[in-house]
Amino acid sequence: MIQEMFPGKFPHADPAQIKASAAVAAGFVGLLSIFNMGGRIFWASMSDFLGRKTTYAIFFALGIALYASIPSLGKAGNLPLFIACYAVILSMYGGGFATIPAYLKDLFGTLNVGAIHGRLLTAWSAAGVAGPVLVNYIREYQIGHGVAKADAYSVTMYIGSGAGELYSRISNRSRRRQSRCLFGHDVHHGGSARRRIRLQLARHATR
């Protein structure tokens, strides 16, 4: 992708240039792996101070903004910012995996973490197979309809941004519904309701 979005920076006129471009692409993948690993430590540590909900809100809001900005950075030829955006995205990817067990525990209790996390990993595995296939299909479809290779990934980035926004809205609505089911009233309805919820949680924790 990086070679197609920045063709001027990665020429393929001769074997030496092809080899150099391949080395740069491999370095880019290695850099993303480092941020993926570092994000697991950084974001998990930050979630202890910010809270899990706030941390995931940052993931969604910042991820949407970064995905939406990548096509513009590609068109502008801004390679450093392009790489920086993907580095931050991959750090949040790793941070999400490191933080999700604790977040599941906060939401559903310790006894339910194993079963829910197992289903989450199953969904992640399915997305790991279906995602690249879908991205490649969208790319090939656009190229087949005359879209330049440098612009073939733009739709994918916008889809990723829109999917993040959609999931964020669904997740917030599901949490509100869950709160009403657990406690019999809306957590967003006044301070007294929130105090009753905190009291019930405290009683449950002392059992």
- List, for residues 60-76, the tens digit of each pLDDT value: 888 888 888 887 887 77
Residue 185, CB-side half-sphere exposure with 13 Å CA sphere: 13
State the Cα angle at 66 between 99 and 25, rounded to 5°: 90
Burial of 188 (0-12, 13-18, 19+ CB in 10 A): exposed
Examine the pLDDT at 159 and tell me if it is beyond 90: no
Residue type, 185: H
CA–CA dist 44, 52 (Å, integer) = 9
2-205: CATH, from 3.10.20, 1.10.1740, 1.20.1250, 1.10.3470 = 1.20.1250
Q: Of 13, 175, 168, whose CA–CA distance to 108 is shortest? A: 175
CA–CA dist 176, 187 (Å, integer) = 7
**pLDDT of the residue at 160:** 66
Q: Of 85, 62, 79, 54, whose CA–CA distance to 165 is shortest? A: 62
**pLDDT of the residue at 112:** 84
Examine the pLDDT at 155 and tell me if it is beyond 90: no
